Copies of this chain bind each other. A is one copy, B any other.
Amino acid sequence: MTQEPGLRERKKKQTADRIETAAMDLFEKDGFDATTIDDIATAADISSRTFFHYFPTKEDVVLGDYAARLSRVTESLKEQPVDSPAWTALGVAFAEVANDYEVQHQQLRRRFQIMMTTGSVFARNLQLQAGWEDAVAEALEERMKLGSGDILPRLMAASALGAMRSSVRHWLPTTNQSLPDLVQDCFTQLEAGFKPAL
């Protein structure tokens, strides 16, 4: 099943990494907007055309992997016992993600720093999160066996993502509390609002 990746795969990953590190270094050195695709391509030793075979936009270099990470929420959600309340299950799923964030906080802080100070990157991030909201809302709808006419799944998904975003924002500058704790606090705060919902 899991074949050892061939030369082609290895090279590809290697190039992707080279682009990413080169780009991040330049972003931090010169700023996101002042760094051009050409700059990145030169630093990563590829042609500028090739850049777009690896990343759809410049913004995605900053968000790339951390975007994929949140998509785990839906998987985790499906693994939760069906008899636990939806909001609780959501809380567990997000706690896992928060843990990932906490573990890799060194790399994430660099990315967040750029994201929070660059409008286009921030916007792209929100756009990706909106996609996750859709996915989470859909998963919740299925889980709660509700028709698509009910607003509750979407509201829950939006609240959960909002809790996550709020937590990250407070987590970033301070480091007083751990991210999982913050997320947990937000979820328990909102819990009463979703009490009656299975």
Residues of B close to A182: CB separation below 8 A: 151
**B154 x A169 contact (CB < 8 A):** yes
Residues of B close to A159: CB separation below 8 A: 158-159, 162, 190
Give the size of the chain A interface in residues (CB under 8 angstroms): 33
Main secondary structure on chain A at its contact with chain B?
A: helix
The docked-state distance in angstroms from the alpha carbon of A130 to that of B129 is 13
The docked-state distance in angstroms from the alpha carbon of A126 to that of B174 is 26
A157-198 contact mask (Cβ, 8 Å, vs B): 1 or 0: 011011101110110001000000010011001111111000
Q: Smallest Cβ distance from A123 to chain B, in angstroms?
A: 4
List residues 134-165 of chain A with CB under 8 A from any CB of chain B.
149, 151-152, 154-155, 158-159, 161-163, 165
A197's nearest neighbour on chain B, judged by CB, is B189
For A126, give its contact among B127, B163, B193, B194 (CB under 8 Å): B127
The docked-state distance in angstroms from the alpha carbon of A137 to that of B87 is 24
A194's nearest neighbour on chain B, judged by CB, is B193
Q: Is A119 an interface residue (CB 8 A)?
A: yes
Residues of B close to A166: CB separation below 8 A: 151, 154-155, 158
A161's nearest neighbour on chain B, judged by CB, is B162
**A163 x B155 contact (CB < 8 A):** yes
Q: Smallest Cβ distance from A11 to chain B, in angstroms?
A: 31
Q: Is A122 an interface residue (CB 8 A)?
A: yes
